[in-house]
Amino acid sequence: MAKGLLMTYTLWAVGGPAGLHHLYLGRDSHALLWMLTLGGGGLGWLWEFWMLPSFVAQANRAQEQRQGSGRGTPPLSLIRFVAQMIVGMYFGLVALISLSFMASFYIVGLPLAVGLGVLLVAAIGNQTSDLKNTLGAAFLTSPIFYGRPIAILPISLAASITAQKHRRYKPSVGSETLSVRLYRLGLAYLAFTGPLVHSVLCHTAVTLSYVADTLGSFLSWFSFFPLLGRLLESVLLLPFRAWKLLVGDHGISSSYFQEWEKLYEFVHSFQDEKRQLALQVFGLSEGATNEEIHGRYRELVKTWHPDHNRYQMEEAQRRFLEIQAAYEVLRQPRKPRESWRSNATINTFKRVLGLPWWSSG
């Protein structure tokens, strides 16, 4: 059935940031992207006002396009490449906030998240890319920058270049029912938002600290490129500023910033307590060297590995996971307490709260 331009504009106006018009046009990848980014932070939704006629025309001639999809290669698109980079980094940031507790996160979780973000953009419209090659580029790049939040940038760059290199038209497929499409979109949406919601609701203070530290370290990397750093800062903080615009400014001031500072100090004390518990698991005292921690970790892993404790499997699995979690805590470098006022985190919070960077605490 032909798609109508009036209906498309109506759905764009009513549920554009949620991707309803893209769902109507059969652009499920674009709909999912808008669901996960609220219409590209609102900017993409507004920009689409001029693009809707071409989207409708493309949807109405989709069958003819797919019949010739095996011939030729889609033209190179700079806009698509930049969007792949941005969405890949966005997926990486969300993974850093919600999944960084996982063992081998920087080897498995981070490149997978960034690669899927790149592939989501690559699959918009009548195009797609090669799954194995794109994810392969992400996984091969990740170990080079192991343990660094800035790894999301080179991983996204490598995956985006590979996705562009292997771009192609989507193959011809039969039409699917709306319920099947909604089911698939719902699973993808839950897979993205579930860990993030759990992290925010169950570990609010830790999540707040990690968001500030991650954004601070990420933005400080661009100190040599002020214009690019400002652009990325605007993109990353756009959702908060949009929310602040909608709900109004309830007296955000220097005194309010001090409340955030108190929360940050509480987070530091919580992290100190978590480190003490990890030391107790390892049977070490404060001041243990990295060599002592690593040596003790190897001893405990050999002792409590489930394969070596088949007659007490449940206890071994519990202890093994406990050892892994403690090691993840102890292997992180300790930051000095005064780092709150010396690193980029304070400036990040000031930007979020709308305070000038020169203002005192």
What does the pLDDT average to over 334-348? 50
Is residue 252 pLDDT above 50, yes or no? no
What is the token pair recorded at 31? 């709909």
What is the token pair recorded at 77? 């698109």
Is residue 120 pLDDT above 60, yes or no? yes
Q: Is 115 exposed, middle or buried (0-12, 13-18, 19+ CB in 10 A)?
A: buried
State the chain's mean pLDDT as an integer: 77
In sequence order, what are the beta bridge partners of 127? 169
Query: Cα–Cα distance between 280 and 88 in angstroms, integer?
Result: 38
What is the token pair recorded at 126? 């009548």
> What are 19-39's pLDDT values in tens digits?
899 998 888 999 999 999 888
What is the token pair recorded at 67? 């019949």
Q: Per the CATH hierarchy, to which homologous superfamily does domain 275-333 belong?
A: DnaJ domain (1.10.287.110)
**DSSP reduced 3-state for 57:** helix
In sequence order, what are the beta bridge partners of 128? 168
Using an 8 Å Cβ cutoff, are 129 and 150 in contact? no
Q: Sort residue 65 into left (φ over 0), alpha (ψ -120 to 50) or beta.
A: alpha
Query: Cα–Cα distance between 84 and 160 in angstroms, integer?
Result: 6
Query: Cα–Cα distance between 347 and 47 in angstroms, integer?
Result: 31
Rounded to the nearest angstrom, the gap between the alpha carbon of residue 61 and the centroid of all alpha carbons in its chain is 34
List of residues 6+ apart from 346 with CB closer than 8 A: 216, 340, 361
| Nearest of 23, 165, 203 to residue 80 by alpha carbon | 165
Residue 2 has a pLDDT of 77
On the CB side of 186, how many CA atoms lie within 13 Å of its CA? 6
> What are 168-208's pLDDT values in tens digits?
988 776 677 888 889 999 999 998 888 888 877 776 656 66
Helices then strands (H, E): number in the chain?
17, 2
What does the pLDDT average to over 253-261? 49
> What are 274-327's pLDDT values in tens digits?
778 888 888 888 888 888 888 888 898 888 888 888 788 888 888 888 888 888
Poorest-confidence range of 72-76, 154-158, 169-173, 217-221? 217-221
How distant, in Å, are the alpha carbons of 251, 262, 358 from that of 255?
A: 9, 11, 15
First to last CA, the chain: 61
What is the token pair recorded at 14? 């009513």
What does the pLDDT average to over 87-106? 84
Q: Domain boundaries in the chain?
A: 1-61, 78-169, 193-250, 275-333
- The 10 Å CB-count burial string (b at 16+, else e) for 255-289 is eebeebeeebeebbeebeeebeebbebbebeeeee
Q: Helix 152-165 crosses helix 110-122 at what angle (to 10 degrees)?
A: 40
Q: What is the DSSP string of 88-128?
A: HHHHHHHHHHHHTTSTTIIIIIHHHHHHHHHHHHHTSTTEE
Q: Quick one: what percent of the chain has pLDDT higher than 70? A: 68
**DSSP reduced 3-state for 271:** helix
Poorest-confidence range of 1-10, 211-220, 243-252? 243-252
Residue 69 has a pLDDT of 47
Residue 273 has a pLDDT of 67
- Greater confidence, 42 or 79? 79
Instruction: For Cα atoms 154, 159, 161, give the angle at the middle one, nearest 5 degrees.
Output: 95
φ, ψ of residue 248 in degrees (nearest 5): 90, 165
Strands (E), the chain: 127-128, 168-169
